[in-house]
Amino acid sequence: MGAGGRRFESCLPDKVRRSLSEGGHLFSAEITHIMANILAFAGSTRTGSYNQLLLNAAIKLIKASGHSVTEISLRDYDIPLYSGDLEASSGLPESVIKLKDLSKSHSGLLIASPEYNGFFPPLIKNLIDWLSRPAAGEAPLASLKGKVACLLSASPGTLGGVRSLGSLRLLLENLLVLVNPEQMGLSGAHEAFAADGALKNPKQAEMLQNTLTSYVTLLSKICD
Ligand X SMILES: Cc1cc2nc3c(=O)[nH]c(=O)nc-3n(C[C@H](O)[C@H](O)[C@H](O)COP(=O)(O)O)c2cc1C
Query: Using CB under 6 A as the criterion, which residues of the chain lie in contact with ligand X when the complex forms?
Result: 44, 46, 49-51, 114-118, 154-157, 159, 161
Nearer to ligand X, 49 or 204 (CB): 49
Q: Taking the complex as a whole, how short is the minimal distance between the CB of residue 70 and ligand X, in angstroms?
A: 20
Nearer to ligand X, 162 or 219 (CB): 162
**Separation of alpha carbons 166 and 177, rounded Å:** 14
Nearer to ligand X, 108 or 161 (CB): 161
Question: 183: closest CA among 133, 111, 100, 85?
Answer: 111
Nearer to ligand X, 3 or 159 (CB): 159
Q: Taking the complex as a whole, how short is the minimal distance between the CB of residue 10 and ligand X, in angstroms?
A: 33
Q: Taking the complex as a whole, how short is the minimal distance between the CB of residue 119 and ligand X, in angstroms?
A: 8
Q: Taking the complex as a whole, how short is the minimal distance between the CB of residue 139 and ligand X, in angstroms?
A: 33
